[in-house]
């Protein structure tokens, strides 16, 4: 269960304030950028399969759109809060900026548990969400996408509802759609592959052969799976993954000393990304507590699940062997844990750089939809590699030049670009 004292938005603001002090930003600029420009709270009534009506709480936050339309996913999660959505929207602003794509930060959510909803109920929830924000989103205003516990199917339902309301075809209103419905080739792999592209560059700079490394992955959703896939293709050894178990309401870590086999794990994984524990044991996996991933004797840690995973309480359990933390998830490391990692000399590739592959490929999808011309998978992944590599090298160079922590260097580049756009527009 999440820590109720944890507030992702306060952490996002703390991270911003630290860099705002470093840059010497004036008060008006701080006030504009440490809070969202707009946030929408609404209720979504849904008729359930049993004939009753259940009312769900929904959100959409647009943090800043000075550099382009807001962009960001829509989560379905039983513990969703407006503060989490605001934090994720803010991080998305910096994410789009650090990889230099012309978009701003947005995020959406619904307080619900899709495990307990039928497909028809989920469809009605998606359509209800769109009806509440139909005039506040659009291809040139705010472009949603999938996030935790939402999928390409959810996005098509949302797009269809938007098109019904606006009486036209607007495939660029939403990204993360299936192929054939305006989806981009390479989008499924994009976030996980982006994580490994920047990891590859970091290891190269450190003079470490990726084929001689081991990594522990937290999570077994889309990001983690494709990160494991590409990391394995490059010759690295993925030692373990962790994932949530709905039946027991807790996570477990699945470990094999000679490396996990992604394909065999996928064969025993249900549609919610939950691995069958009994089948895993039959295949020779150790089934450990959910937080065991963090203490494994590996070179690389890849938190690729939810926020607030590496904290001041558990950072001391990280093996002395660990050299790099690559944040595949949004906000997985708390500020007090950051201090511990910094003191220990562990190289951190921050979330809004490391996992920017998803929004970068969403941008590619949006471009393709708006011009009604689609690229090959190789073209998409090549463009993605180029974007991620360029962004990583810029942040890494600034970190070395000014002796900054990587997270701070990424923030400096991202915030400066947004400040400049706000100034050009005359907002500040």
Which residues are tagged catalytic? 107
User: What are 219's two structure tokens?
Assistant: 């999570």
Place of tokens 């506040």: 136
Q: Please say whether the dihedral angle defined by the alpha carbons of residues 388, 391, 397 and 403, taken in this order, is positive or negative.
A: negative
Q: Which residues pair with 56 in a beta bridge?
A: 44
């Amino acid at each position: 269960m999440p820590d109720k004292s944890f507030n992702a938005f306060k952490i996002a603001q703390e991270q911003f304030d630290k860099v705002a002090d470093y840059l010497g930003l004036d008060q008006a600029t701080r006030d504009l950028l440490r809070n969202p420009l707009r946030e929408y709270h609404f209720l979504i009534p849904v008729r359930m399969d049993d004939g009753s009506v259940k009312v769900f709480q929904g959100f959409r936050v647009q943090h800043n759109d000075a550099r382009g339309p807001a962009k960001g996913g829509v989560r379905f999660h039983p513990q969703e809060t407006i503060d989490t959505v605001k934090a994720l929207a803010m991080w998305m602003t910096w994410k789009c900026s650090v990889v230099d794509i012309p978009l701003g930060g947005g995020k959406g959510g619904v307080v619900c548990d899709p495990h307990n909803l039928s497909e028809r109920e989920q469809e009605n929830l998606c359509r209800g969400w769109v009806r509440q924000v139909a005039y506040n989103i659009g291809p040139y205003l705010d472009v949603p996408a999938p996030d935790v516990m939402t999928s390409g199917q959810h996005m098509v339902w949302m797009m269809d509802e938007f098109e019904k309301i606006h009486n036209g075809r607007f495939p660029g209103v939403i990204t993360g759609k299936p192929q054939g419905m305006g989806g981009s080739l390479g989008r499924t792999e994009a976030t996980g592959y982006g994580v490994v592209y920047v990891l590859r560059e970091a290891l190269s700079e450190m003079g470490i052969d990726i084929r001689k490394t081991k990594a522990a992955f937290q999570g077994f959703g889309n990001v983690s799976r494709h990160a494991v896939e590409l990391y394995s293709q490059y010759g690295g050894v993925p030692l373990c993954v962790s994932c949530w178990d709905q039946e027991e309401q807790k996570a477990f870590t699945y470990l094999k000393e000679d490396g996990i086999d992604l394909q065999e794990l996928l064969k025993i994984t249900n549609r919610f990304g939950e691995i069958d524990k009994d089948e895993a044991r039959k295949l020779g996996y150790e089934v450990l507590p959910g937080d065991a991933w963090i203490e494994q004797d590996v070179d690389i840690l890849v938190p690729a699940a939810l926020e607030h995973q590496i904290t001041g309480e558990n950072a001391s359990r990280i093996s002395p062997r660990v050299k790099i933390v690559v944040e595949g998830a949004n906000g997985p490391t708390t500020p007090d844990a950051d201090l511990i990692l910094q003191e220990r000399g562990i190289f951190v590739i921050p979330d809004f750089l490391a996992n920017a592959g998803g929004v970068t490929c969403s941008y590619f999808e949006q471009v393709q939809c708006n011009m009604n011309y689609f690229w090959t998978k190789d073209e998409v992944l090549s463009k993605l590699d180029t974007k991620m590599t360029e962004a990583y090298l810029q942040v890494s160079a600034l970190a070395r030049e000014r002796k900054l922590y990587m997270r701070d260097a990424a923030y400096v580049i991202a915030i400066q670009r947004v400040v400049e756009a706000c100034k050009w527009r005359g907002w500040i």
